[in-house]
Amino acid sequence: MADLRLDREAADPVREPVGEEDLALKIVALSGLGRERGYLLLGDRLGPAAPSVAELAPELEVIAVEKGPPPEEGGAAEGVSWIVSEVHYPLAEYRLPGVVIAPGSDGEQTAAAARRVAAGGRLVVFDAGSEDLQAVERAGLTVLAAEGGTAVAERRDIFGPELRREG
């Protein structure tokens, strides 16, 4: 586990994990990465599903980013790396084939996650609000499906609207 918080003692509001019985299966299916080798980033609130995701898709390396320490029962799971950070997703931009988050109408968090998605990669958003969908589209991703607070988007290229050059 990498703890990247500047002040490890600071009390940060930790939101409840997303609780669904089949969450790991939904993460693997919606990300489209079940049989591929690569990295899948799980955002804050989805960390408890990381060991189950790694078990369902053993070719993936699951990176769980949490604001607080990882759950004890999943802290040392094979195929799971934990990062504790107060910064949204302290990883390289436009490099990950899959990012899964549950921002709960936090456009800033959604935009940060969208910037991590590589060309051809997917962003899965659970607990999505209209602010999240707008942030996804502003970041240059195409929403493939959105229903009941869950959305799946794909980056067709790394040049979102803010990076394209005209002429």
Going residue by residue through the chain (167 aa), what tens digit of pLDDT does each one get? 555 455 555 555 554 555 556 999 999 999 999 888 899 999 988 988 999 999 999 999 999 998 877 767 656 789 999 998 888 888 999 999 999 999 988 999 999 999 999 999 999 999 999 999 999 999 999 999 999 999 999 999 766 555 554 54
> 34 is in which domain, residue-wise?
21-155
- Whole-model pTM above 0.95? no
Quote the longest CA-to-CA distance of the chain.
Answer: 54
Is 103 within a domain? yes
Rounded to a whole number of angstroms, the CA Rg of the chain reads 15
Q: Is the residue at 162 inside a domain?
A: no
Residue 88 lies in a domain: yes
E strand spans, the chain: 2-3, 38-42, 60-66, 80-84, 96-101, 117-125, 141-147, 150-155
Q: Evaluate whether residue 8 is within a structural domain.
A: no
Would 137 be classed as within a structural domain? Answer: yes
User: 82 by DSSP, 3-state: which?
Assistant: strand
Residue 49 to residue 23: CA distance in whole angstroms: 7
- Is residue 98 one of the residues assigned to a domain? yes
Please indicate, yes or no, if residue 63 is contained in any of the structural domains: yes
CATH number at residue 136: 3.40.50.150
Number of domains in the chain: 1
3-state secondary structure of 155: strand
